[in-house]
A and B are shown apart, each in its own frame.
Chain A
């Protein structure tokens, strides 16, 4: 977004406040400076020279989960996310990142993952004799499923082995996709990772990449060279189920509610495949949140690095609704939602299980 577009977007804001309706931050913190319309008003004052561009404003910019709910409901069609991205790029260029972001940037730069884990351990979840090979299909594992949440990656691996789907991973050669860096505005560093990964993709002759992490998926789709076909694992699973290659061995006699993550939903537009998978499971009763698909409310996960307390509270609202609806399980496709829901559920009285879709699927397959 160039300067002119930025200015026009800011002046286009009608201050109607629709953006507050599904805003996770507004619902918890509740003050206008953390809403899209509040930011637009503040930016307008800054443009007119009536207000200084201070650290308080930076904090407002970063206290946004970039879930894009505001964009969805905005009647004037403002690209809030692009505005926030553009401003973050400027801040990063000028070295004005908040401390929490600076710390994360250094970790990603050094270790190529946001958790500070050792780079040589990235493929530790793979079988000992695993060999990276040339293949047209590549499973991009991502940082979360390589380290702390490797039950997801192991599940994906086992499901695909079962249906004899041929693919490779990058093992220890995989780098972070760059999403945390792009999100904080460090696009130069982000692009370095894009290049490093792309080189590996080309070396292995990869044509299709599938990711189990929606954050990686969004980044692979929007920031990587367009010659790679990018899918989420749910799209692959849904195709395999339709082809009759997946056989269930168990019934899941439970009420399941699917949470549309923001990256896989509003940012990439995948809404139906996860539902198709869940509906194909014998015994499942599929419930819906009041606001689902394009209108789904963010779990607050991306705010963990800014304010874990708020992130947890936001998640608890969604969990609360699932409990009220009588759901036994909340199913998500996203590691960020998964972890944050687990934390949020601790604040809620009722009981509901949180499941990541690949792990759930593996448990139900015919042995």
Chain B
């Protein structure tokens, strides 16, 4: 019996695909990584994509995969962009988006129980229509899934400043482990799976806290000077509004090219904050009319991506820094990318941390330019570390930063992984089970950065040297290239 036949038996033939076009689509996420680089990173072609619809089906699939040592890569909306959903060891891709039902809405005990393939927008629309709202949620709500956001940490996003990271809102979960065993978690044990990027178990059902939705205020202020805006932002933090962000002047310029109508200033955006206090704190800024702010809120999922066509490629790294060092971070970033077209958005999270999202315009068709922009990852990460922060998420591309992000927990994480997934079949090649040692990835990025600078007609070299370095790295850990 082939893998196709066996899995078809479990989920039904119409929910498996080995179609060439699907295998292509399921080998990609939101980041337009050049094929050569993905091969360099050691990604293999998946054998099959399956779309289970029930927990029992997932259990059966995992029992089978565990027995036969088949690598299983989990996939939600594929919007994280760090390669976390790429089938690094080939094998089976589990697309969990078919499981997107809202199972229970309980206003008395204030929770909602959902299948984790459900998109955030669907859950938010549902509870908001019934007078409630949700805590932390991602700015890519129409595609990002409940399971995806939880698995990638859920600490930067909308609602986090008031309600904390997504882990704080989990009442319980149902998780299928690598061997097909189903476990249920409480708030405390749920935390172990938050940010595990699908390497410890498959989160299939989540009970999330909900909160009463009152009348919200939408306030936007424009500042001439960046430091005034940031000083206001620091003080606004204490009010713990539902949403607090900074849109820098450069981003406003780009947004206005795409149909927004915002004054070109450093802009502070507050949703559901005490209006009198906000007005007092933002004394140095100009208040925009509420309708404008409301419109921006309603378009919140679209804002950043609306400038994409100007690239037409965008390079969007994400870092988290303490708010005290936010100003320095922006100055450092502006210094690094001043010759490029870019805009910066930043969202304030809980615990005084800020998610900084520089969006750099580029064109993937101009290879050497694009490689160079991609290589900025290294320097941008260094800016984060210099300012007491770190890059957000690991996936494949941020594995060189593992030890800096996790520090002493790394050893514990390895033990947990070994205990829960001894055969390393769940999301292999990610986080702690990287395929290429960080040093080789860094070297390859340095090569991508330097070669286009010193040689004009270096397309061949740009392709060759970084890949050679990655290949060396792959050999180093005994991975196979295909």
A98 at the interface (CB under 8 A from B): no
For B119, the chain A residues whose CB sits under 8 A away are 21
With A30-B98, A32-B25, A33-B21 as given contacts, are A17 and B143 in contact (CB-CB < 8 Å)? Answer: yes
A20 at the interface (CB under 8 A from B): yes
B314 at the interface (CB under 8 A from A): yes
For B312, the chain A residues whose CB sits under 8 A away are 8, 11-12
CA distance A20 to B78 in the complex (A): 12
CA distance A285 to B117 in the complex (A): 34
With A50-B35, A75-B302, A75-B308 as given contacts, are A14 and B21 in contact (CB-CB < 8 Å)? Answer: no
Most buried by B among A11, A12, A16, A45: A16
Stretch at the interface among B57-65, B121-129, B464-472: B121-129
Could you tell me if A33 and B22 are in contact, using CB atoms closer than 8 angstroms?
A: yes
For A16, the chain B residues whose CB sits under 8 A away are 30, 79, 140, 142-143, 305
Could you tell me if B308 and A30 are in contact, using CB atoms closer than 8 angstroms?
A: no
**B20-46: which have CB < 8 Å to A?**
20-22, 24-26, 28-32, 35
For A29, the chain B residues whose CB sits under 8 A away are 14
Could you tell me if A57 and B97 are in contact, using CB atoms closer than 8 angstroms?
A: no
Q: Closest residue to B23 on the A side, CB-wise?
A: A33
For B449, the chain A residues whose CB sits under 8 A away are none
Q: In the complex, what's the smallest C-beta–C-beta distance from A28 to chain B, in angstroms?
A: 9
Could you tell me if A31 and B79 are in contact, using CB atoms closer than 8 angstroms?
A: no
A208 at the interface (CB under 8 A from B): no
B95 at the interface (CB under 8 A from A): yes
Could you tell me if A56 and B97 are in contact, using CB atoms closer than 8 angstroms?
A: no
With A20-B143, A30-B97 as given contacts, are A14 and B305 in contact (CB-CB < 8 Å)? Answer: yes
Binary contact readout A48-71 vs B (1 if CB under 8 angstroms, 0 otherwise):
001100001100100000000000
For A15, the chain B residues whose CB sits under 8 A away are 28-32, 78
B15 at the interface (CB under 8 A from A): yes
With A17-B143, A21-B142 as given contacts, are A32 and B309 in contact (CB-CB < 8 Å)? Answer: no
B51 at the interface (CB under 8 A from A): yes
B306 at the interface (CB under 8 A from A): yes
With A15-B28, A16-B143, A31-B51 as given contacts, are A76 and B308 in contact (CB-CB < 8 Å)? Answer: yes
Could you tell me if B21 and A17 are in contact, using CB atoms closer than 8 angstroms?
A: no
Could you tell me if A17 and B22 are in contact, using CB atoms closer than 8 angstroms?
A: no
CA distance A8 to B309 in the complex (A): 8
Could you tell me if B26 and A32 are in contact, using CB atoms closer than 8 angstroms?
A: yes
B135 at the interface (CB under 8 A from A): no
For A82, the chain B residues whose CB sits under 8 A away are none
Could you tell me if B19 and A30 are in contact, using CB atoms closer than 8 angstroms?
A: no
A326 at the interface (CB under 8 A from B): no
B365 at the interface (CB under 8 A from A): yes
B77 at the interface (CB under 8 A from A): yes
**A279-326: which have CB < 8 Å to B?**
290-291
A125 at the interface (CB under 8 A from B): no
B318 at the interface (CB under 8 A from A): no
For B22, the chain A residues whose CB sits under 8 A away are 31-33, 38
A42 at the interface (CB under 8 A from B): yes
- 9 more contacts with CB within 8 A, not counting A32-B25, A33-B19, A42-B24, are A12-B308, A15-B31, A15-B78, A16-B30, A32-B22, A33-B17, A75-B304, A76-B305, A77-B306
Can you list 16 A-B pairs with a CB-CB distance of less than 8 A? A11-B364, A15-B31, A15-B32, A18-B142, A20-B97, A21-B142, A30-B51, A31-B19, A33-B22, A41-B24, A56-B21, A60-B21, A75-B303, A75-B304, A76-B306, A291-B125
Instruction: Please list the 6 inter-chain residue pairs (A to B) with the smallest Cβ-Cβ separation, ordered nearest first.
Output: A32-B25, A75-B302, A75-B305, A17-B143, A33-B21, A18-B142
